[in-house]
A and B are shown apart, each in its own frame.
Chain A
């Protein structure tokens, strides 16, 4: 790694309450840590990390409560039904762990703040509506592609899965293409 990569200009915190919170790590250092977690996952379990499957398991659990008949009608629900224990899902436990790990990191860095992240030109309400819509669309995309940033972009790319690399390129194409229309939300 050359020196250009390691040099970090002074960062301006993007979150409010910035005066008290500690700066984030150098992104390359954080990336190496993330890579080591992913490597450990591969070495122990033979599979990589995921995130969307945890949401899917939670959705199937809800479906099982709301209307058990629906479980049998959908191959997707059946996949996560786990003989009646959809909550004992491996990826759901990863998500719970991630909440704990991020809380630890945020607490140590004094970065906890109960806010809505948005640019100055949209209201909190508009931003929350967009957050919901975006979550919905991202979930659908992840289900179609069989993975998200964790399962495809990180896990699949590091083992050079051609589909994962196509996914990664498509994500950036769509987001860069839309960025000009969503300047108000973020800038």
Chain B
């Protein structure tokens, strides 16, 4: 049955309407979480407000449980889902740059939308910096895309590498979330002095 895209051919208009509707939910959830605020987002790196990790981790676990459960009862064909080809070097180096940009700039691409929508001028400037960055990449270093493809190692997932099924990984992630929730609450009270009043 799922994903719908494997049995239904959406028209361009329908496809873009779906994107718009999902985007509304995406932006709503980000803003609700407080992610329209750069200080709330960067607080995680000073350990007094771990909301970024809590939100991301519970989102990942929610999706993982949904994907696993639906595939277990035969309603979802996991093999029909797109997995970005893995390139560990690219993801490692890109992740380091991205993390630096995140802390310096105060936002990430999705959260900058929540910031703009709630009036944050720095969010708008971050988005303009993003635009300049992707423009520069396309103009000056497009060969990095070619390199990525040439050195990618296929679709590597933890189940495919280890042979341990998705259900066990889902359980592990739930356990990490529970233990992490307890640990993060302790960190927050320990570093609460850094919280702006």
Contact = CB atoms under 8 A, between A and B. Distances in A.
Interface of A: 1-2, 4-5, 7, 9, 12, 14-15, 24-25, 27-28, 30-49, 51-52, 54-56, 58-60, 62-63, 70, 74-77, 79-80, 88, 90-91, 93-106, 109, 111-120, 124, 127-128, 130-154, 156-176, 178-179, 182-183, 185-187
Contacts, number: 555
B130 A55 contact: yes
A122 B102 CA distance: 18
A62 B184 CA distance: 43
Given A70-B139, A154-B56, A14 B113 contact: no
Interface in B60-103: 60-64, 66-67, 70, 76, 78, 80-88, 90-103
A114 B124 CA distance: 11
A41 B98 CA distance: 24
A60 to B, nearest CB: 7
Contacts of B131: 55, 58-59, 62, 135, 139
B56 A88 contact: no
B33 A140 contact: no
Interface string B107-145: 111111111111111110111111111111111001111
A60 B122 contact: no
Interface string B9-48: 0001001101111111111111111101111101101100
Contact of A47 (B28, B66, B81, B148): B81
Given A162-B88, A170-B92, A39 B133 contact: no
Contacts of A58: 131, 134
Given A43-B2, A141-B97, A149-B111, 14 more contacts: A55-B127, A95-B110, A102-B117, A115-B119, A141-B95, A142-B109, A144-B93, A144-B97, A149-B109, A163-B85, A169-B95, A183-B46, A185-B104, A185-B106
A51 B139 contact: no
A135 B139 contact: no
- Looking at chain B's contact residues, the main secondary structure is helix
14 contacts: A14-B39, A27-B58, A46-B5, A55-B134, A90-B16, A120-B196, A135-B128, A137-B97, A154-B60, A159-B83, A163-B156, A167-B91, A170-B94, A182-B103
A100 B3 CA distance: 26
B59 A38 contact: yes
Given A44-B4, A162-B158, A79 B30 contact: no
Contacts of A102: 27-28, 30-31, 36, 113-114, 116-118
Contacts of A131: 38, 105-107, 122-123, 125-126, 129
Given A93-B23, A98-B27, A142-B98, A51 B110 contact: yes
